[in-house]
Amino acid sequence: MNGVVILAASNYSLYSVMVAEGLLAQGISVDRIVIKKLFNLKRLWSEVKLGPFRFIRKVGNKLIFRKTKNRIRHEYSIGQNFLDGGFKATSLTELCSVAGIPVTYCDDFHSKEVLTDMRSSQPMLVAFTGGGIIRGPVLDVASEGVINCHMGILPAYRGMDCYVWAILNGDTEKIGLTTHFMDSGIDTGPIIERLHLSPERFTSISAVESALEASMPELMIRAISTAFTGKSNKEIQDASKGDQYYVPVASLRELAEYKLSENFRREDEK
């Protein structure tokens, strides 16, 4: 085996489907896909706790309108990339069935059954494509570790909604993505690659979020394929060069929206 095990937040995650299909297209073996079950009380409660409006937005974006909403609203979106890129599967279950990939459904990535399934696949890498925080035992499953694509520029911005915080701090050059190996901290593992996004062309936070999401599959696939060549960059992070951020309240999100539109207006006037 010695391929990749993919951890996915849901069966319908476009990001996970695109990463899996992209890896298969490059001839990289996907040894197993572990999918978190959607309807799990603990999971629902932890999502609601982060904010009810955020939860409703997430359900709408990720489940109900996943392929159409962002495509209509934003030029750069994961839905658009999915349709343009000729991806075939509409769910991970469908992909696993067509490609003959073993699949595990679970409530928790750390359960004994999941760990046993993952270890039996003897993967070289684990690709984390969402589903909460992962800890010790999962981090040790693959010989080369776990790769994540973080929606922020590391080491400056760790944690949640980093693009909003970067706008609030006036750090617009630090809006982007970072692929990194995961360790026991939150977004503190060795950095593989950063991708910076120019905020000047975006007028809303949701457009920035959408553009970031659109770039995640490509960056993740590149990080994994590079790891297979044994030439991954592994830049050790200096934690003192950044902070951990949490979900911003609605008024700060509105302020970020305002700052972004002002930034756009200034650029437009130039």
Partner 1 sequence: MNIIDLNEKEIGHLLSMFMNGKLEKASVQKLIRFVEFNHQMLEMRIANLWGKGSMMSIYIELILGLEMGLDRDRDIRFANVLLKLSTTKVHKKLLKSGVIKKSHADILNEDLK
44 or 249: CB nearest partner 1: 249
Displacement of CA 1 from its chain's centroid (Å): 25
Kindly provide the b/e burial profile for residues 29-50, where b requires at least 16 CB atoms within 10 angstroms of the residue's own CB: ebbbbbbbeeeeeebeeeeeee
47 or 218: CB nearest partner 1: 47
Phi/psi for 191 (5° steps) reads -85, 135
Does 169 engage in binding with partner 1 (CB under 8 A)? yes
Closest CA to 182 of 101, 120, 102, 109: 109
Q: At closest approach, how far in Å is the CB of 245 from partner 1?
A: 7
235 or 243: CB nearest partner 1: 243
Does 49 engage in binding with partner 1 (CB under 8 A)? yes
Does 229 engage in binding with partner 1 (CB under 8 A)? no
Report the C-alpha gap between 86 and 54 in whole angstroms: 30
254 or 268: CB nearest partner 1: 254
Per CB under 8 A, contacts with partner 1 among 242-261 are 243-246, 248-249, 251-252, 255
Q: How many residues bind partner 1 (CB under 8 A)?
A: 15
- Bridge-based pairing state of the strands 191-196 and 176-181: antiparallel
Q: At closest approach, how far in Å is the CB of 248 from partner 1?
A: 5
Report the C-alpha gap between 197 and 213 in whole angstroms: 11
Neighbours of 206 (CB within 10 A): 17
229 or 251: CB nearest partner 1: 251
Does 42 engage in binding with partner 1 (CB under 8 A)? no
Return residues touching partner 1 (CB under 8 A). 49, 165, 168-169, 239-240, 243-246, 248-249, 251-252, 255
